[in-house]
Amino acid sequence: MIEKWNLKLLYKSETDPQIQKDIDLSTKNVRSFVKTWKTNKEYTKDPAVLEKALQESEKLSATTGICDKPIYYFMMLNELDQTDANIKARLNQITEIYTKLVNEIQFFDLNISKIPKAKQSKFLNYEGLKPYKHLLEQSFLSSKYILSDKEEKVFNLTSKTSYSNWVNMLTELLSKQKMVVLDDELKEKEITYNEINKYLDSQNKKVRDYAVKEYNQINSQYVEIAEFEINSVLEDKKISDDYRKISRPDLTRHIADDIESEVVDTLVKTVTENFDVTRAYYKRKAELMGVKQLGYYERNVPLPGASMKYEFPEAMKLVQKTFKNLDPKFEEIVDTFLRNGQYDVYPSKGKTGGAFCTSINRNLPTFILLNHKDQLESVLTIAHESGHGIHTELAKKQDALNDGYPTSLAEIASTFFEDFVLTEILKETTDEKVIQAILDKKIHDDTASIFRQVAFYNFETELHDDFREKGFLTKEYISDLFCKHMKAYLGDAVKEDESMRNGWIYVSHFRRFFYVYSYASGLLISKALQKMVKDDKKNIVYVKRFMESGSTQSPKELFKGIGIDITKKEFWKNGIEEIKTLLNKL
Ligand SMILES: [Zn+2]
């Protein structure tokens, strides 16, 4: 068992001469592709030529890609030590080369999407293009909203000044803020803005009340800047949508995620209609915490009890046992990860926080980053990120142009495995207090992924609509709107306080536009799959089939193939029923 990333799987060291050789080879491969297809546009007329072109594109993706390996190497080094300026500089240099190459090659996808409507079916029905059918469908679908190569370049070039700089300004200003809080021994301690959650979630009321005062003060200081920032970002989006004649603000998200607007609409509507579930949960939570009402900032405080300790090897064993029970193939994949050094387990100085699973190219190793802290949470994180890893490996059954998966499907495998591990832990627990704390944690997490994200979605929808109607939204207006949507799912057991009024300032997802629904859809689909497997273990083949499909089909079609209809309200309702069952137990 190796507990650190073995980046030697990529290069010997930062000075390995192979790095430059790979950059040169990748540049050569991209340029040779561009040379072949830039002037010869036969592939937009003749399906047989397109087949050949796509095969070449697939080959490029499966080999060097666009500087895949060098970029990946320095990205991973950067994750392990964010303070190393030398690594950052190298990463920037290679990224610059990458962006240049992307600009040179983007004509290819653009031209495909511009194949005239009358000719599209000829391409879609061509036998040799069968493996790329869905990819072409996707491309044709988005073409309506794609502008000319030149116009797209202008949008690309100006997006930094009209969008990213605004967003980065706010996040960076906030992240630099320092404040004094009390730690668990009630001693004063200076922390940075992004470290606040630990103190807001403290089981000691003194600690969290003290922390929120400081937090509110900083947020209030920056609310005016946030007001300008969010109005600019909303305007930038409106300009782009108007120019492209896009009818609804969330449509670009749906197209990019390969999901129909009607599916998202049904999901959002069904979850919203069931907000009474979460309102009941917060009422129960306040009761269990012995108060009438919770502050908005207190909604994440765990109940005392779930304080078991899991050192990494023991936690990993539990995960492996659960995975093996589901299917030996899952354990096999995790085993390989462990043997090769594809997990980086413990926190260290300069290492990035949180956890993730990443991959860039089918022929390069998948890497999983953890910050294991011996708690229940950390065990679930291993399961979650390993779930992403298993999905990534199984999707490699498809070719290099189809071995990814859209955001709308990204959180299914991860939460599927996470929930099974939690069930395993519950099975081994007999202490009532501990069971209660685990149940509470589970409902809390599900609520945060499903109901809260849908409330966010509703807020975003109204935010964009109102901006388009009024032209400018004041900070008071935005705070009122945000509180309206938070109270809708939290109910009367959670107070509208200053922390709620400031709640929109720092949520980075609101700047990524309508991304949030994917947490809800992912977890609810995952719950449906869990139920299938709990009903009959043999149904695990369907879960595997889903993961092996990569991006060859839209989610709607994919799940139809295994008997799940995600366009139906009842489907989403079933997942919500599972949470109700947990709530009744609590
Ligand atoms: Zn995830």
pLDDT in tens, the chain (586 residues): 899 999 999 999 999 999 999 999 999 999 999 999 999 999 999 999 999 999 999 999 999 999 999 999 999 999 999 889 999 999 999 999 998 999 899 899 999 999 999 999 999 999 999 999 999 999 998 888 988 888 988 888 888 889 989 998 998 899 889 999 999 899 999 998 988 988 999 999 999 999 999 999 999 999 999 999 999 999 999 999 999 999 999 999 999 998 999 999 999 999 999 999 999 999 999 999 999 999 999 999 998 876 788 999 999 999 999 999 999 999 999 999 999 999 999 988 888 878 999 999 999 999 999 999 888 889 999 999 999 999 999 999 999 999 998 888 889 999 999 999 999 998 888 888 889 999 999 999 999 999 999 999 999 999 999 999 999 999 999 999 999 999 999 999 999 999 999 999 999 889 999 999 999 999 999 999 999 999 999 999 999 999 999 999 989 999 998 888 999 999 999 899 989 999 999 9
381 Cα to the center of ligand 1, angstroms: 9
79 Cα to the center of ligand 1, angstroms: 17
Q: Are 46 and 7 in contact (CB under 8 A)?
A: no
107 Cα to the center of ligand 1, angstroms: 32
371 Cα to the center of ligand 1, angstroms: 15
d(CA 549, CA 562): 12
Burial class (CB in 10 A: 0-12, 13-18, 19+), 268: buried
370 Cα to the center of ligand 1, angstroms: 12
d(CA 187, CA 53): 65
For residue 13, give both structure tokens.
């060291």
Q: Give the Cα-Cα-Cα angle 500, 503, 508 (nearest 5 degrees).
A: 165
Q: Are 206 and 182 in contact (CB under 8 A)?
A: yes
H helical segments located in 162-204: 165-175, 197-200
d(CA 558, CA 540): 15
Look up the pTM and report it: 0.88
Q: Return the H-helix or E-strand segment holding 69.
A: helix 68-80
309 Cα to the center of ligand 1, angstroms: 23
Q: Are 76 and 102 in contact (CB under 8 A)?
A: no
412 Cα to the center of ligand 1, angstroms: 8
522 Cα to the center of ligand 1, angstroms: 10
240 Cα to the center of ligand 1, angstroms: 30
What is the bridge-based pairing of β-strands 178-182 and 343-344?
unpaired
Among residues 299, 293, 285, 346, which one has the least CA distance to residue 197? 299
356 Cα to the center of ligand 1, angstroms: 7
531 Cα to the center of ligand 1, angstroms: 20
d(CA 539, CA 544): 9
358 Cα to the center of ligand 1, angstroms: 10
Among residues 154, 271, 279, 349, which one has the least CA distance to residue 519? 271
In the chain, the largest separation of any two C-alpha atoms, in whole Å, equals 73
34 Cα to the center of ligand 1, angstroms: 35
403 Cα to the center of ligand 1, angstroms: 18
376 Cα to the center of ligand 1, angstroms: 17
576 Cα to the center of ligand 1, angstroms: 20
278 Cα to the center of ligand 1, angstroms: 22
DSSP-assigned states of every residue in 441-459: HHHHHHHHHTHHHHHHHHH
476 Cα to the center of ligand 1, angstroms: 34
548 CA to centre of own chain: 20
357 Cα to the center of ligand 1, angstroms: 8
Among residues 125, 108, 123, 26, which one has the least CA distance to residue 401? 108
3-state helix, strand, coil in the chain (%, to 5): 70, 5, 25
d(CA 32, CA 26): 10
H helical segments located in 114-148: 117-124, 133-143
344 Cα to the center of ligand 1, angstroms: 16
456 Cα to the center of ligand 1, angstroms: 18
What is the bridge-based pairing of β-strands 367-369 and 356-358?
antiparallel
418 Cα to the center of ligand 1, angstroms: 10
Q: Are 35 and 113 in contact (CB under 8 A)?
A: no
